[in-house]
Amino acid sequence: MIKLADEKQAQVKRATRAAFGATLAELAAEGAPVVAVDADLTGSTTTKKLADAGYPDRLFNCGIAEQNMVDVAAGLAVTGHVAFTGSFAVFGTGRAYDQIRNTVCYSNLDVKIAPTHAGISVGPDGGSHQMLEDVSLMRGLPNMRVLVPADYAAACAAIRLAAATPGPLYVRMGRASVPAVYADDVELELGRAYVLREGADVTIVACGVEVEQALKAAEALAAEGIEAEVIDAFSVKPLDERTIVASARKTGCVVAAEEHSVMGGLGSAVAETLARELPTPVEFVGMRDMFGKSGEFEELMGYFALDASAIVEAVKNVIARKQV
């Protein structure tokens, strides 16, 4: 059984991006051939921590040139390094998509696309910087794997897993500080989803910041006599289809929750799996074909119906469909 954060640990909020540079520094100290290539955002992405830890020759700042950043990372990978790219998600995936596709993925290079500031958690920076299509972009690429950690500990595990897994891999990290879901030093696996709470009435599959919201929703639902099974789909690609199908078979209905567009992300992956393996009523919690807005993270979660109350509503809707 995966070890979750206790009540005291859960009160400590840390951003997933804070795990990036710190974990790279640990890996370098352990002898891993990791390097970081950034696009003039080393403080915000925290890759600067790698240089500050005594490895300035492992950090390459390409300036505001994300396409060059990816190509430099590809070159370093060819020379035997495990290359992580930084930048914000909107630039690190969107502006450099051609290089990720045709240089990194086509050649199956050991490059890890690991941007921060994904989703609406960017907050006041607004819709131009709130990347809501990145999972869809990365998930559609051959050879690319996709990890979406729920908290700081999961992000540390994701960076370690990325460094140990040959080939292209995407790690999605955010700006906002979020409560701990997992205990420190948790170890997570590629292609695995984790049942964090068992239930018989509905399955909630979530990733990223939505995992904590799903657990809160499950508590609220339990007070109404509805037992929700909560699954963290940490690995969006490859998806743990066996765990999700087994849960759907038990509960008979599913809610997919993500801080991302409902088109092409986790919800799409879940729906594709169920359509093929076990047709099941599914409701989606996510951004619905729209850009974000400027505001504080918690405010935006409510405004765009991404919070626990939105998950509760989706659960009631999908249970009603199951009963028809």
Domain spans, the chain? 11-179, 194-320
Per-residue pLDDT at 176 exceeds 90: yes
pLDDT at 7: 83
What's the topology of domain 194-320?
A: Rossmann fold (3.40.50)
Does the fold of domain 194-320 match that of domain 11-179? yes
3-state secondary structure of 51: helix
Label the pairing between strands 82-85 and 254-261: unpaired
Give 78-116 pLDDT, tens digit per residue: 999 999 999 999 999 999 999 999 999 999 999 999 999
Total-model pTM:
0.97
Q: What is the mean pLDDT of residues 27-51?
A: 97
Residue with tokens 């799996």: 273
Mean per-residue pLDDT over the chain, rounded: 97
Average pLDDT of the residues in 130-134? 97
**Which CATH number applies to 11-179: 3.30.70.20, 2.60.40.740, 3.50.50.60, 3.40.50.970?**
3.40.50.970
Distances (CA, A) of 75 to 35, 37, 81, 96, 111: 12, 11, 9, 15, 9
End-to-end CA distance of the chain: 35
Among candidates 148, 156, 22, 177, which has minimal Cα distance to 89?
A: 148
Phi/psi at 168 (5° precision): -65, 140
Cβ-in-10-Å burial (0-12, 13-18, 19+) of 303 comes to middle
Total length of the chain: 324
197 pLDDT band, cuts 50/70/90, is very high
pLDDT top residue among 319 and 12? 319
Q: Supply the DSSP symbol for 208.
A: T
Mean pLDDT for the stretch of residues 162-185: 96
- Which among 58, 60, 121 has a CA at the least distance from the CA of 89? 121
Catalytic residue (choose from 66, 210, 258, 259): 66
- Chain center to CA of 112: 14
Concerning whether 258 is annotated as a catalytic residue, the answer is: no
- Looking at residue 236, its amino acid is V
- What's residue 299's pLDDT? 96
Q: How confident is the model at residue 9 (pLDDT cuts 50, 70, 90)?
A: confident
